[in-house]
């Protein structure tokens, strides 16, 4: 489980030989990304699409790798539209998220957005005005924050509780009435992105069951239910950073297939995961700068830190670590527990605690896997004015493209 692909290992070693200072680098295995996504797409039942939520990782080589494989993209800002344009995407995209600017909405319409997920009554009115201004009739999905049984809520719940996302079910009749009254809007579907980081397939099955049950009820609120064709069930498929067991995507797809087969008015279903798509392909490699003990605890102080890889603190977990001893040294002796920290002058700069490593020493490399989603891009890279880490994107035969 803790074996690095040789291509990743080679890229790290080459980066180190080029670097004047000790290393901190992100490496993304684009072949592994493509393989994983092909498998994910192959499981989708008929009538089910998958859009990639690019906020998980919108670096150009990631988008270019995904472009031929996924059905489309989900974006949440004007800046993300620019990212898609820069990747020369001709795939459909949809736009969700709170606090959309008028300029973002205009850019989305001008680039032919497939659907806008409206998050409030006010946004419906604004979009109507912009549609009229641009002379367009825009397809919209109403984003719903449904009532959820307590058993289905999670730590990162984005629905079933008070959130700034979407409309409460009590407001859905009014939202439908408003969209129907808007000459420049066309209601095409409903959208629910209820949680992030769902690790249990059973619970996600129950969530989909619940959405499909409500689908019929929500649709029935419309004057012409027949024109409402789509149900976007969001993302939120989790990654187990600790056990590293993969979410049983195939099982979820078979379950959905069966449920859709049972429905008389089955919607076209759209998934929009981010994390589950790009997490596995990324690695963060850092070099040990110092090894010390303090009040009975052992610390490895490394190049980089949580300002480059905020994920472990954001998730509140101790990230797995692969230890690469400096060349020429065969580690021996008993393992001892280490706290892996970065270069920041704050006690919060902790990447992992209690890592059992054998003979860890200055100059060794530590590699943090599962760093391809919500890793570098959610981090506060300018804190303390350290230089930003290099990001390397590797493809077959060691051909490498650098960026950022
Ligand atoms: C963030 C987000 C996603 C992707 O979530 P993951 O947990 O990364 O799968 C999908 N849809 C919306 C609306 C989002 O905000």
Residue nearest to atom 11 of ligand 1 (CA): 234
Q: Measuring CA to CA, how many Å separate 330 from each of 10, 168, 333?
A: 19, 60, 10
- Given a cut of 50, whether residue 403 has pLDDT beyond it is no
Q: How confident is the model at residue 294 (pLDDT cuts 50, 70, 90)?
A: very high
What percent of the chain is predicted at pLDDT more than 70? 96
Ligand 1 centre distance from Cα of residue 272 (Å): 7
Q: Are residues 188 and 138 in the same domain?
A: yes
Q: Which of 52, 74, 239 to mutate to test the pocket of ligand 1 (most atoms within 8 A of CB)?
A: 74
Summarize the confidence of residues 81-107 as an average pLDDT.
Answer: 96
pLDDT digits (tens, 9 = 90+) for 317-370: 999 999 999 977 778 889 999 999 999 999 999 999 999 999 999 999 999 999
Q: Are residues 215 and 335 in the same domain?
A: no
**What is the domain-level CATH number for residue 223?**
3.20.20.10
Range(s) of the domain holding residue 148: 97-271
Task: Please tell me the pTM assigned to this model.
Answer: 0.95
Ligand 1 centre distance from Cα of residue 383 (Å): 26
Count the domains in the chain.
Answer: 2
Residue 84 domain-assigned (yes or no): no
- For the chain, how many helices (H) and strands (E)? 11, 18
Q: Are residues 223 and 108 in the same domain?
A: yes
What are the residues whose beta carbons fall under 8 Å from the beta carbon of 100, sequence distance 6 or more? 116, 119, 123
Pick from 238, 253, 271: which residue ends a domain?
Answer: 271
The residue from 253, 302, 345, 385 that is catalytic is 345
Residue 15 domain-assigned (yes or no): yes
Pick from 271, 299, 319: which residue ends a domain?
Answer: 271
Residue nearest to atom 15 of ligand 1 (CA): 97
Ligand 1 centre distance from Cα of residue 196 (Å): 7
Q: Are residues 169 and 101 in the same domain?
A: yes
Q: Are residues 358 and 253 in the same domain?
A: no
Q: Are residues 286 and 176 in the same domain?
A: no
Q: Are residues 301 and 357 in the same domain?
A: yes
Pick from 251, 271, 291: which residue ends a domain?
Answer: 271
Any bridge partners for residue 52, and if so which?
Answer: 73
Q: Which of 37, 50, 56 to mutate to test the pocket of ligand 1 (most atoms within 8 A of CB)?
A: 56
- Given a cut of 80, whether residue 299 has pLDDT beyond it is yes
Q: Are residues 141 and 220 in the same domain?
A: yes
**What is the domain-level CATH number for residue 292?**
2.40.37.10
pLDDT digits (tens, 9 = 90+) for 209-233: 999 999 999 999 999 999 999 999 9
Residue 294 domain-assigned (yes or no): yes
Ligand 1 centre distance from Cα of residue 381 (Å): 22
Residue nearest to atom 7 of ligand 1 (CA): 236
Instruction: Establish whether 345 is a catalytic residue.
Output: yes
Q: Are residues 313 and 195 in the same domain?
A: no
Summarize the confidence of residues 87-113 as an average pLDDT.
Answer: 96
Q: Are residues 102 and 212 in the same domain?
A: yes
Ligand 1 centre distance from Cα of residue 80 (Å): 14
Residue 65 near residue 86, CB atoms below 8 Å: no
Q: Are residues 227 and 369 in the same domain?
A: no
Residue 63 domain-assigned (yes or no): no
- Given a cut of 90, whether residue 404 has pLDDT beyond it is no
Consecutive H or E run containing 356 = strand 350-358
Which residue in this structure is represented by tokens 């009115």? Answer: 125
Q: Which residues form the pocket of ligand 1, taking CB atoms under 6 Å from any ligand atom?
A: 53, 55-56, 74, 76, 96, 193, 196-197, 234-237, 272-276
Q: Are residues 263 and 304 in the same domain?
A: no
């Amino acid at each position: 489980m803790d074996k690095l692909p040789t291509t990743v290992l080679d890229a790290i070693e080459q980066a180190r030989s080029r670097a004047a200072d000790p290393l901190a680098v992100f490496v993304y295995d684009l072949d592994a990304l493509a393989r994983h996504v092909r498998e994910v797409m192959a499981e989708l039942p008929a009538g089910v699409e998958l859009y990639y939520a690019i906020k998980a990782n919108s670096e150009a080589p990631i988008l270019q790798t995904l472009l031929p494989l996924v059905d489309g993209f989900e974006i949440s800002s004007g800046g993300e539209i620019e990212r898609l344009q820069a990747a020369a995407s001709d795939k459909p995209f949809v736009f969700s998220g709170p606090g959309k600017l008028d300029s973002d909405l205009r850019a989305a319409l001008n680039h032919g957005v497939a659907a806008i997920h409206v998050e409030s009554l006010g946004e419906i009115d604004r979009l109507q005005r912009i549609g009229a201004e641009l002379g367009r009739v825009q397809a919209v999905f109403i984003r719903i924050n449904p009532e959820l049984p307590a058993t289905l809520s999670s730590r990162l719940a984005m629905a079933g509780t008070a959130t700034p996302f979407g409309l409460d079910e009590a407001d859905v009749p009014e939202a439908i009435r408003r969209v129907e009254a808007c000459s420049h809007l066309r209601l095409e579907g409903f959208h629910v992105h209820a949680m992030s980081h769902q690790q249990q397939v059973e619970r996600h099955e129950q969530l989909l069951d619940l959405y499909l049950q409500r689908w019929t009820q929500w649709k029935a609120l419309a004057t012409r239910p027949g024109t409402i064709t789509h149900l976007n069930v969001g993302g939120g498929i989790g990654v187990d950073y600790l056990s590293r067991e993969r979410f049983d995507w195939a099982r979820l797809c078979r379950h959905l297939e069966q449920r859709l087969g049972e429905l008389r008015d089955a919607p076209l279903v759209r998934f929009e995961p981010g994390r589950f798509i790009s997490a596995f392909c990324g690695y963060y490699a850092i070099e040990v700068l110092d090894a010390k003990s303090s009040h009975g605890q052992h610390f490895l102080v490394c190049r980089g830190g949580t300002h480059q890889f905020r994920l472990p603190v954001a998730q509140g977990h101790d990230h797995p670590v692969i230890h690469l001893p400096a060349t020429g040294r065969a580690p021996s002796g008993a393992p001892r527990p280490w706290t892996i920290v970065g270069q920041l002058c704050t006690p919060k700069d902790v990447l992992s605690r209690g890592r059992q490593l054998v003979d860890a020493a200055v100059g060794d490399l530590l590699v943090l896997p599962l760093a391809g989603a919500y890793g570098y891009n959610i981090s506060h890279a300018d804190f303390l004015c350290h230089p930003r880490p290099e990001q390397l994107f590797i493809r077959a035969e060691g051909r490498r493209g650098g960026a950022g």
